[in-house]
């Protein structure tokens, strides 16, 4: 519901085309200020990055690297427009500030300290942030400040725990994320193996991990009932009876779109009663039919072909039309088999192979959006993935039948095909109205029902000469018209969207900037969370 108050209609003056400046560019009347960079102090008593290569154990208490998905949480009893908690994912390494032999991490030759250093810089930061009287935000030394890393121990729960084990060391490739209605943080592992420490058994990764920023839930927990794949983010829809669905993309080339429906309703009156909700429920994969309808196919052992001796067709959309699909035999004897081999289960059950599903978001009118970032090696098309060699990606949207999170059918359409009319190749022009872009990744409908899109396109000159540096756009949900709101520095992707409830502060992540290696000649080459706000203190975008 949209509370009464200021007018949130979008009025910012959009930025121009092809901006390649090595800084964060924002519209007139806005500022972008660095809040929390890789290597900064996190846990009380830690020492921040000083210009010298950082190593474990100091790194275990500092900001991790490659900031990605993020969510802003209220602290009970505190005005959330002035102070709150940010949970921030760290996807990979900011190698330039870390002490690796030759400046780069190699799992094959790493010393024990190098391995610990690498693993300490992925995972999650929780930080308390505060606004001062002038409107500027800073990180507060706080008992809430915490790191969860590739060296931390995680509990494993749900139907696959019997196979995976009761606990796993490490979370990594923490890509995007999402909140739950009960105020916990779901950090998503976008890799099904521990590439930083290959000695760890691979069933331990590729899960959704639940973390409580308020520290009431206990040990962070890998929720196996939600499936194992290259998880991008989670987004939930709640109905009037407090039944909930969590939507999830598999950023595989190609990958499917999923939803998980807990068996029990969310209990708004008893926070702790919800801490096991993600262990018991039904996982579905989406099939996008050619006539604009869709089906949610249940991924339960014994149903929809998920039995012993099933034939997995593999990623057949990457094979030329006419090539024989040989398939591979896969056994689904238990639900643990289905959850550990979720990608194969989804293909066997008839899920649609999409062009790399990235973020999903649920709008105010319950329209659900998913970015399909690109898939340049697609060779067979379908209605929901209509372009071969899809270099620039597209955005699909759907509505559940009856707008119910429990629906098993839906209706879908394409919001837009990314690209630019100046490109010679017909299948790369796209149909964006307004400011064009490539490779949509982050997407979020904010509480005032405004749709924001962030890009993660290649950062070579062949891309930046058409689109400029990676950027963030406002997209009109009715017309598809796009307006460029923010442009990142050289080499970065733009990702992560957090905001205060009054929307006067937006938290945005600058991931892997690669420009100047100093604080004076361009953007500092460290991943960072920035705060974007208006100098007049009014809501962002309006
Ligand atoms: Fe880590 Fe799919 O982006
Ligand atoms: Ca990334
Ligand atoms: Ca992403
Ligand atoms: Ca991406």
Q: How far is the CA of 173 from the centre of ligand 1 (A)?
A: 9
More confident residue, 410 or 479: 410
- pLDDT, tens only, 296-331: 999 999 999 999 999 999 999 999 999 999 999 999
What ranges make up the beta strands (E) of 292-403?
293-298, 310-312, 328-330, 357-362, 368-372, 394-400
Q: How far is the CA of 36 from the centre of ligand 3 (A)?
A: 19
- Does the structure show a pLDDT above 50 at 61? yes
- Does the structure show a pLDDT above 90 at 521? no
Residue 466 near ligand 1, beta carbon < 6 Å: no
Q: Do the Cβ atoms of 506 and 531 come closer than 8 Å?
A: yes
**What is the DSSP code (8-state) at residue 403?**
G
Q: Which ligand is nearest to the CA of 373?
A: 4
**Given the CA of residue 456, which atom of ligand 1 is nearest to it?**
3
Residue 230 near ligand 1, beta carbon < 6 Å: no
Q: Which ligand is nearest to the CA of 66?
A: 2
Q: Which ligand is nearest to the CA of 253?
A: 1
- Give the closest residue (by CA) to ligand 1 atom 3: 175
Pick the closest to residue 295 from 265, 248, 243, 258 (CA basis). 258
Q: How far is the CA of 469 from the centre of ligand 2 (A)?
A: 15
Sequence-ordered list of residues with C-beta below 8 angstroms from that of 340, at least 6 positions apart, any chain:
160, 163, 164, 203, 224, 228
- pLDDT, tens only, 468-500: 999 999 999 999 999 999 999 999 999 999 999
- Does the structure show a pLDDT above 70 at 5? no
- pLDDT, tens only, 225-264: 999 999 999 999 999 999 999 999 999 999 999 999 999 9
Q: Looking at residues 412-436, what average pLDDT do you find?
A: 97
Residue 190 near ligand 1, beta carbon < 6 Å: yes
For position 516, what pLDDT does the model report? Answer: 53
**C-beta neighbour count of 477 within 10 angstroms:** 17
SS (H, E, C) 435-447: CCECCEEEEEECC
At 204, is the secondary structure helix, strand, or coil?
Answer: helix
- The Cα–Cα gap between 257 and 354 comes to 8
* φ, ψ at 316 (rounded to 5°): -70, -20
Percentage of the residues of the chain whose pLDDT score is greater than 90: 94
- pLDDT, tens only, 348-364: 999 999 999 999 999 99
- Does the structure show a pLDDT above 60 at 519? no
- The Cα–Cα gap between 345 and 300 comes to 9
Residue 358 near ligand 1, beta carbon < 6 Å: yes
- Give the closest residue (by CA) to ligand 1 atom 1: 175
- The Cα–Cα gap between 534 and 25 comes to 13
- Does the structure show a pLDDT above 80 at 538? yes
- Does the structure show a pLDDT above 60 at 1? no
* φ, ψ at 79 (rounded to 5°): -65, 110
- Does the structure show a pLDDT above 90 at 515? no
- pLDDT, tens only, 63-113: 999 999 999 999 999 999 999 999 999 999 999 999 999 889 999 999 999
Q: How far is the CA of 94 from the centre of ligand 2 (A)?
A: 12
* pTM score, whole prediction: 0.97
Residue 453: which pLDDT band, with cuts at 50, 70 and 90?
Answer: very high
Pick the closest to residue 427 from 403, 383, 393 (CA basis). 393
Residue 250 near ligand 1, beta carbon < 6 Å: no
- Does the structure show a pLDDT above 50 at 270? yes
Q: How far is the CA of 358 from the centre of ligand 1 (A)?
A: 6
Q: How far is the CA of 326 from the centre of ligand 3 (A)?
A: 32
For position 514, what pLDDT does the model report? Answer: 84
- pLDDT, tens only, 363-409: 999 999 999 999 999 999 999 999 999 999 999 999 999 999 999 99
CA angle 453, 491, 11 (to 5 degrees): 35
Q: What is the mean pLDDT of the chain?
A: 96
**Given the CA of residue 68, which atom of ligand 1 is nearest to it?**
1
Task: State the residue for tokens 């809430």.
Answer: 144
Residue 172 near ligand 1, beta carbon < 6 Å: no
Q: How far is the CA of 455 from the centre of ligand 3 (A)?
A: 9
SS (H, E, C) 512-539: CCCCCCCCCCCCCCCCEEEEEEECCCCC
Residue 518: which pLDDT band, with cuts at 50, 70 and 90?
Answer: very low
For position 244, what pLDDT does the model report? Answer: 98
**Given the CA of residue 373, which atom of ligand 1 is nearest to it?**
2
**Given the CA of residue 356, which atom of ligand 1 is nearest to it?**
2
């Amino acid at each position: 519901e949209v509370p009464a108050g200021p007018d949130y209609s979008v009025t910012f003056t959009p930025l121009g085309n092809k901006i390649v400046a090595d800084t964060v560019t924002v519209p007139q009347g806005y500022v972008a200020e660095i809040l929390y960079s890789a290597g900064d102090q996190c846990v009380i008593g830690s020492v921040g990055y000083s210009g010298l290569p950082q190593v474990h154990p100091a790194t275990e208490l500092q900001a991790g690297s490659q900031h990605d998905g993020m969510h802003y949480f209220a602290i009970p009893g505190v005005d959330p427009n002035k102070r709150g908690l940010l949970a921030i994912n760290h996807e990979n390494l900011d190698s330039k500030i870390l002490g690796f032999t030759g400046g780069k991490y190699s799992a094959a030759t790493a010393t024990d300290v190098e391995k610990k250093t690498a693993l300490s810089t992925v995972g999650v930061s929780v930080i308390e942030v505060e606004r001062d009287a002038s409107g500027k935000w800073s990180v507060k030394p706080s008992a809430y400040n915490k790191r969860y890393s590739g060296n931390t121990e995680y509990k494993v729960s749900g139907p696959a725990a019997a196979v995976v084990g009761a606990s796993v060391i490490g979370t990594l490739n923490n890509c995007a994320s999402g909140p739950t209605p009960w105020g916990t943080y779901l950090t998503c592992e976008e890799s099904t193996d521990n590439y930083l420490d290959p000695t760890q058994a691979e069933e331990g990764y590729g899960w959704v991990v639940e973390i409580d920023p308020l520290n009431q839930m206990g040990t962070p927990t890998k929720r196996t009932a939600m499936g194992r794949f290259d998880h991008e983010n989670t987004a939930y829809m709640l109905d009037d009876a407090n039944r909930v669905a969590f939507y999830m993309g598999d950023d595989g080339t190609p990958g499917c779109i999923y939803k998980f429906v807990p068996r029990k309703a969310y209990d708004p009156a008893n926070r702790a009663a919800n801490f096991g909700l993600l262990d018991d429920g039904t996982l579905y994969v989406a099939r996008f039919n050619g006539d604009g309808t869709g089906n949610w196919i249940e991924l339960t052992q014994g149903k929809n072909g998920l039995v012993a001796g099933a034939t997995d067709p593999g990623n057949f959309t990457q094979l030329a039309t006419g090539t024989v699909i040989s398939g591979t035999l896969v056994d689904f004897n238990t639900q643990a088999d289905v959850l550990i081999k979720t990608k194969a289960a989804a293909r066997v059950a008839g899920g649609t192979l999409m062009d790399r599903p990235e973020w999903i978001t649920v709008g105010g009118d319950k329209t659900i959006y998913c970015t399909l970032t690109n898939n340049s090696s697609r060779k067979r098309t379908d209605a929901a993935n209509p372009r071969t060699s899809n270099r620039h990606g597209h955005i699909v949207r759907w509505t559940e039948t009856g707008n119910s999170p429990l629906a098993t059918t839906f209706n879908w359409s394409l919001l837009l095909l990314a690209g630019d009319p100046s490109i010679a190749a017909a299948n790369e022009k796209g149909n964006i109205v307004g400011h064009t872009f490539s490779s949509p990744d982050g997407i979020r409908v904010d509480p005032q029902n405004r749709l924001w899109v962030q890009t993660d396109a290649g950062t070579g000159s062949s891309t930046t000469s058409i689109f400029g540096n990676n950027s963030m756009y406002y997209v009109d949900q009715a017309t598809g018209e796009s307006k460029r709101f923010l442009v990142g520095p050289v080499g970065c992707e733009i990702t992560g969207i957090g905001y205060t409830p009054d929307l006067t502060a937006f938290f945005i992540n600058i991931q892997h900037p690669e420009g100047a290696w100093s604080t004076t000649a361009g953007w500092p080459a460290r991943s960072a969370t920035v705060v974007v706000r208006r100098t007049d203190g009014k809501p962002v975008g309006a």
